[in-house]
Structure 1
Amino acid sequence: MEDIRICYMGDSFVKGIGDPNKLGWAGRLSYISQNSERNITNYNLGVRGDTSADILARWESEAKVRLPHFSINCVVFSFGVNDTIVENGIARVAIAQSMKNLRDILGVAKVKYNTLMIGPPPIDDERQNISIKSYDEAYASVCNMLGVNYLSIFDKLINDEVWMEEVRNNDHAHPRENGYDILSQYIYDWSGWWFA
């Protein structure tokens, strides 16, 4: 049986905020990826409020203690929404800096681990969604340049009635369990996912 370790690094969407079952998409994804030939250990390292700068500062040390040399080691990154939050008239992390942070993260990660990036999802704020979409496109460009598989989820989810309804009816940012079900299945069905 394969010993597979997956670190999910990111923000509150990775953590699964809003999910009463406390699984989020990461927990669901690991569950549906498990089979008789795979022993998957998942580490949810999502931190509410984290930006790309926060993840850059912590990801490597957190992955190192969880991913031993004898296992199949994977890191899935997902962040960006918090970078777009406007404070005092400017984004918490400007798009150019956010792209640099992503380059710095992935430049190291892809050498050490199997690495994927999942883009930021839409929320219930039209103005912020314009920014999120721009960051999503920028992240896709960085990943393409570095040869890291990237899954953009923005367009799919902004057009998904269940996702958007749960976001609106919850806290205007995070879905409930049905939204996370949809997202985890979308990632599982993606050709870039390792364990379908």
Structure 2
Amino acid sequence: MRDLRICFVGDSYINGTGDERCLGWIGRLCERRFAWDYRLSFYDLGIRGETTPEIRLRWKQESDVRFQEGADNRVVLQFGMNDIAEVTDKGRQVEEDVSISEAEALVSEVSALYPTLWVGLPPANEACSPMQPSEGLEVSFTQRRGQELNERFKAVAEALSIPYLDLQTPLLANRDYMSSLTRGDKMHCDGTGYAMIANLVDNWSAWDAWFKD
């Protein structure tokens, strides 16, 4: 029986923060792919508030301990939202050029070892900015920065020949998704938004191909 193990690595959107059902998009996605003819183990390696450089520092150690020799080990990445956060009185958390260089290094490292998919950052929660994710911290988000980073991420993925799923284009045009950002914890989308992300990934040919290998 195929032992399929997938590490989902990234930030709070990987973790599903703000979802009232505590499934996020990865739980919903893997639920749809559950089958008795293979064993699917999925691991949530999302940490709220982490930037691309921080994710790069930890991904290998955390993934390697969950993988096993002889298993079909794979990685799905999603990151970048915290890079574009503007911290009140301090500025942007990660400058765009640093985000790009770190993303290129991260994706190169992962894909050199494991089959890799890259899911783009979703729309920023501009409507609820500024927000206070923790005591003493105030951050703001703008769509422009998210869209600019998304376009550069797409270029990096193309140069590295890594499948990249653009979430910005369909979700920015989806009124229901944008409304989902103003409900729940008012920092992330609620469960309906995560379900929409799961739908987009589940209908992605690159993801579907993993279950036909």
Report the TM range for the smaller structure's normalisation.
Answer: over 0.9
Residue 154 of structure 1: aligned partner:
168
Alignment of 1:31-180 (within 5 A): 31-87=31-87, 88=89, 90-125=91-126, 128-180=142-194
Higher normalized helix content (fraction of residues): 1
- Measure how far apart 1:107 and its partner are: 1.2
Q: Secondary structure at the match of 1:80?
A: coil
Separation in structure 1 between the aligned mates of residue 173 and residue 38 of structure 2, nearest angstrom: 34
Separation in structure 1 between the aligned mates of residue 187 and residue 123 of structure 2, nearest angstrom: 8
CA contact (8 A) 1:84 1:131 kept: yes
The percentage of aligned residue pairs carrying the same residue is: 31
Separation in structure 1 between the aligned mates of residue 55 and residue 70 of structure 2, nearest angstrom: 25
TM-score (norm 1): 0.95
Of 179-188 and 32-41, more deviation after overlay is shown by 32-41
Gaps of 5+ in 1: none
- Measure how far apart 1:89 and its partner are: 5.2
Separation in structure 1 between the aligned mates of residue 14 and residue 90 of structure 2, nearest angstrom: 27
Residue 185 of structure 1: aligned partner:
199
CA contact (8 A) 2:125 2:181 kept: yes
Q: Which runs of 4+ in 1 moved over 3 A?
A: none
| Pairwise CA RMSD | 1.4
Residue 195 of structure 1: aligned partner:
211
